[in-house]
Amino acid sequence: MIIGSHVSFRETQLLSSVKEALSYGANTFMFYTGAPQNTMRKDINKEYTEEAKKLMLENNININNVICHAPYIINLANRSSEEKWNFSISFLIQEIHRCEELGVKYIVLHPGSAVGITKEEGIKNIVDALNYIIKEDDECMILLETMAGKGTECGSSIEEISAIINGLILKDKIGVCIDSCHINDAGYDIGGIDSYLDEFDKLIGLERIKCVHLNDSKNLVGTHKDRHANFGFGEIGFEKLMNVVNHPKLKDVPKILETPYIGDFDEDKNRIYPPYKFEIEMIKSNSFNPNLLEEIRAYYK
Ligand code: FE
Ligand code: FE
Ligand code: ZN
């Protein structure tokens, strides 16, 4: 099982990410190269990167399973001004180069939101941008994330992801990241993951799935909300999520938790704690622990 979670990328960059992942008992992880909501980025530090790689080697983390996530501010679907669109494009190119410096092979991208235009127009803007961005000799592959379909998000259905890929010149240079919360919110029951994967295979090809985001959902199938819940504590539930974890067709694909931190509002402290160590343990043991959230609070207190 290749499993990890979202981790931070602090002062010591990739080294801090690896250390955090190891503290959760993970054998992979996902990070942002800076704050996801802004464009302030520090140069990649070679020494930290080398130390991180050494630590990964010592702990059997294969860097080919490590995932970067592009910042939310990138919206390739929005071409309401050439300036905005060009900014998204150049920022994504920069992020790809940062991944290449780090030796990270995959970057997850939200395809984009069609602001004030139709989804078809949004998809065309995404395709045009990606045809400009993706180069034959890129060492880091963009993974289009399947979205919940909140607002005007493009890429919530298998058909929309397929439409984007079909428009690309370098079709072999793109992959997909499926997100269980988003799939549920987009209108596909995770209980029917087999038929989802069959349809995905027909239109896109299962070999394109390079990452799975493992999240429960606070909402029912088809609600287009995109609010993640802790593993087994949402509307999808433990069993259906475990069917994704253990699915033979997704066996070698890295699984990443993006479940919410646990709040502790005792004594007006408003603290939050990462759930990942505990969720990973629960997943590995394959048995649901209804007291998990309380145990996490007790552990970090
Ligand atoms: Fe995402
Ligand atoms: Fe996700
Ligand atoms: Zn989400």
Note down pLDDT in tens along the chain; length 301 residues.
999 999 999 999 999 999 999 999 999 999 998 876 777 788 999 999 999 999 999 999 999 999 999 998 999 999 999 999 999 999 999 999 999 999 999 999 999 999 999 999 999 999 999 999 999 999 999 999 999 999 999 999 999 999 999 999 999 999 999 999 999 999 999 999 999 999 999 999 999 999 999 999 999 999 999 999 999 999 999 999 999 999 999 999 999 999 999 987 776 667 899 999 999 999 999 999 999 999 999 999 8
* pLDDT recorded at residue 265: 73
Beta strands in the chain (DSSP E): 3-6, 28-31, 67-69, 106-109, 112-113, 141-145, 153-154, 174-179, 209-214, 216-217, 228-229, 255-257, 262-264, 271-273
CA distance 170 to 178: 21
Task: Please give the distance, rounded to the nearest whole angstrom, from the Cα atom of residue 46 to the centre of ligand 3.
Answer: 31
Q: Which residue has the tokens 């990462």?
A: 274
Q: Are 92 and 133 in contact (CB under 8 A)?
A: yes
* pLDDT recorded at residue 250: 98
Task: Please give the distance, rounded to the nearest whole angstrom, from the Cα atom of residue 267 to the centre of ligand 2.
Answer: 33
The token pair that represents 175 in the structure block: 């992959």
Q: Which residue has the tokens 């993706």?
A: 134
Ligand 2 being an ion, which residues bring their Cβ within 5 A of it?
179, 213
Task: Please give the distance, rounded to the nearest whole angstrom, from the Cα atom of residue 179 to the centre of ligand 2.
Answer: 5
Q: 0.85 cut: is pTM over it?
A: yes
Beta bridge partners of 3: 255
Domain span at residue 176 reads 3-300
Coil/strand/helix, residue 50: helix
Task: Please give the distance, rounded to the nearest whole angstrom, from the Cα atom of residue 112 to the centre of ligand 3.
Answer: 13
* pLDDT recorded at residue 267: 64
Task: Please give the distance, rounded to the nearest whole angstrom, from the Cα atom of residue 18 to the centre of ligand 2.
Answer: 20
Q: How many residues does the chain have?
A: 301
CATH number of the domain at 91, please.
Answer: 3.20.20.150
Task: Please give the distance, rounded to the nearest whole angstrom, from the Cα atom of residue 109 to the centre of ligand 1.
Answer: 7
* pLDDT recorded at residue 270: 76
CA distance 238 to 128: 40
Task: Please give the distance, rounded to the nearest whole angstrom, from the Cα atom of residue 182 to the centre of ligand 3.
Answer: 6
- Give me the number of domains the chain comprises: 1
**Which H helix or E strand runs over 85?**
helix 82-102
Q: Which residue has the tokens 């920069």?
A: 94
* pLDDT recorded at residue 198: 98
CA distance 15 to 25: 16
Task: Please give the distance, rounded to the nearest whole angstrom, from the Cα atom of residue 20 to the centre of ligand 2.
Answer: 19
Contacts of 148 (CB under 8 A, 6+ apart): 156, 179, 181, 182, 185, 186, 224, 225, 226
